[in-house]
Amino acid sequence: MPLIPTADLLHAALANRTGIGAFNVIHLETAEALAAAAEDAGLPVILQISQNCVAYHGGLEPIARATLAIASASQAHVAVHLDHAEDEELTRQAIDLGFGSVMFDGAKLDYEHNVEATVRVVEYAHANDVFVEAELGEIGGKDGAHAPGVRTDPGEARRFVDETGVDALAVAVGSSHAMTERTASLDLGLIAALYTAVPVPLVLHGSSGASDETIVSAIRSGITKVNVSTHLNGFFTDAVRRSLAEHPEVVDSRRYLREGRAAVASEAARLLTLFAVSGSSTGEGATR
């Protein structure tokens, strides 16, 4: 099936008040697993390649072309997205390669410089019919620094969207990247206020640290795009460890990587299903 524009998937989810899973590609096996998950669940998925992933592979093009090929070959509706790019040039590379969306992360910049840089990314992206996500209110984590006090202000968020023309906004509401325990407490009232204030889909980063129930509540409060990476990485690694422990004689890496791929596909399909139904039938949450 042809690559699906990220905008189409997010706007459909927003209209239905459901969530959509955006899962990070680490290597070829995870890209294959995530496409298989979407096919198994009969639901769309967004495959994300982060700036950290690009650094690991030594450049964007090899992992990007592989992921785009997997997405295009899938029978599911699959979009490909650049995640957490702090480098403006990297966003342009992704757009030129055919990504349906890019995230420019200027959250470490002061407000005015974040706006200026984001506008440059938006202008290039929109000229090429590419959807742009940005971030306001830095989301903690990565280096172990959990910053639960960081929050996105609804008024500033509305101003930021108006000034930059971004198509989706990642917000700081209590989550943190790279959490291995699902103990994050999200500010649901703030999510509802942001949903009311901001006319574009809201994105939850650091979702690996939130429980199923918390994510469901976040979607009902107004989150549309749910980013997950560390949680799925754990399933991959645990499956590989079990396989190696049970078969210490194995030297063919395909034998144990296959187990990791299958574990990610199963859990990703479960999450896609969870996100897709969580907001659709309750009528709960904020209004615009």
Reported in sequence order, the residue ranges of the chain that DSSP labels E, i.e. its strands, are: 20-24, 45-50, 78-85, 101-104, 131-136, 168-171, 202-204, 223-228
Neighbours of 99 (CB within 10 A): 27
Residue 101 DSSP class: E
Active site residue 105: no
Residue in 8, 40, 83, 105 annotated catalytic? 83
Using CB atoms within 10 Å of the CB of residue 146, give its burial: 0 to 12 exposed, 13 to 18 middle, 19+ buried: middle
Start-end of H helices in 208-252: 212-221, 230-246
| Catalytic (active-site) positions | 83
